[in-house]
Copies of this chain bind each other. A is one copy, B any other.
Amino acid sequence: MNNALLKEMKERVFDANLALPKSGLVKLTWGNVSEINREAGLIVIKPSGIPYETMKVCDMVVTDLDGNLLENGLKPSSDLATHVELYRSFEKINSVVHTHSKNAVMWAQAGREIPAYGTTHADTFYGVVPCTRQLTVEEVTSAYEFETGRVIVETFHERKLDPVAVPGVLVNGHGPFTWGRNPQKAVENSIVLDEIAEMACMTELVNNIVHPIPQYLLDKHFFRKHGSNAYYGQL
């Protein structure tokens, strides 16, 4: 193992985990962030059930690409197997975030995908934020966290969604997972997801026959920020 590289990964994962309570996305010990380095064969993830106030950089847990522990230390987040499965199937993502942020959870509990009602949504998510089907009793009682990852992947495959263009999902009856090219971006996507989840709920309150924005406006805003013709931000 490259110690400098691992130290940097631990610091990024630590910072991203702390950003969750700071952003108001998680309470108590809920939520976890991981990062993968495929070349080095490493995943770094939050330890399970450690309070954010006392958590240290060195508490971050290191595993191989299958989730096997590579260091003696704390137990990894109980959601590790979900992260591993997402990394295995979504090859272009380098970080995964799980939270129980209240507005995203509300849609997950309602079992509904979030329609693209405006440009705030379109700036980050290219189309609806999908919601998985409910897990079966067999899936839940066998390898629950692994199957949670599998049903997310199934949802993206069946709907032919690109996880780079739709960097998040709602797990039915549970809550959101988001991802990105690095931990900071993956956390930002969790922030955006919770915000657009709240906006969408309130939009329906104010207009109960509202329609999603037209495809051309969705295209405009998404590609203003993403892809080779993006012109938002500094080059």
Q: With A and B bound together, what is the CA distance between A135 and B100 in angstroms?
A: 35
Which residue of the partner chain B has the closest CB to A145? B224
A101 to chain B, nearest CB (A): 10
Tell me whether A1 is interfacial, beta carbon within 8 Å. no
Given contacts A75-B234, A207-B112, contact A137 B214 (CB under 8 A): yes
Q: What are the residues of chain B within 8 A of A100 when measuring CB–CB? A: 119-120
Residues in A113-163 with C-beta less than 8 Å from chain B: 117-120, 134-135, 137, 140-141, 144
Which residue of the partner chain B has the closest CB to A121? B109
A188 to chain B, nearest CB (A): 6
A146 to chain B, nearest CB (A): 13
Given contacts A174-B118, A201-B202, contact A207 B135 (CB under 8 A): no
Listed stretches A7-15, A34-42, A47-55, A84-92; interface member: A47-55
26 A–B pairs (Cβ distance < 8 Å), ordered by A: A27-B192, A27-B195, A28-B188, A28-B191, A47-B234, A49-B234, A50-B234, A75-B234, A78-B224, A78-B232, A106-B206, A109-B117, A109-B118, A109-B199, A118-B174, A119-B173, A119-B174, A120-B175, A137-B214, A144-B224, A173-B217, A201-B202, A201-B206, A204-B205, A204-B206, A205-B205
Instruction: Name A's B-contacting residues (CB within 8 A).
Output: 27-30, 47-50, 74-75, 78, 100, 102-103, 105-112, 117-120, 134-135, 137, 140-141, 144, 173-175, 188, 191-192, 195, 198-207, 210, 213-214, 216-217, 220, 224, 231-235
